[in-house]
Amino acid sequence: MTQQGAVLQGYNNELVKCIEDLCMQKEELNKQIQQAEEEKNKLQHEIQVLSEQLECVCENLAQKVASRNELNKILAETEAAYMKILDSSRTLLNVLKKEVGSLKHMPELKTN
| Residue 75 half-sphere exposure toward CB, CA atoms < 13 A | 6
Cα gap 79→86, rounded to integer Å? 10
R_g of the chain, CA atoms, integer Å: 47
Segments making up each domain of the chain, as ranges: 1-71
Tell which wins on pLDDT, 112 or 41: 41
- C-alpha 84/C-alpha 90 separation (Å) is 10
pTM of this prediction? 0.59
pLDDT per residue as tens digits for the range 3-56: 888 888 999 999 999 999 999 999 999 999 999 999 999 999 999 999 999 999
Q: Is 105's pLDDT higher than 90?
A: no
Which pLDDT tens digit goes with each residue over 67-95? Answer: 999 999 999 999 999 999 999 999 999 99
Q: Which helix (H) or strand (E) holds 86?
A: helix 2-104
- In single-letter form, the type of residue at position 67 comes to S
- How far the first Cα of the chain sits from its last, in Å, is 165
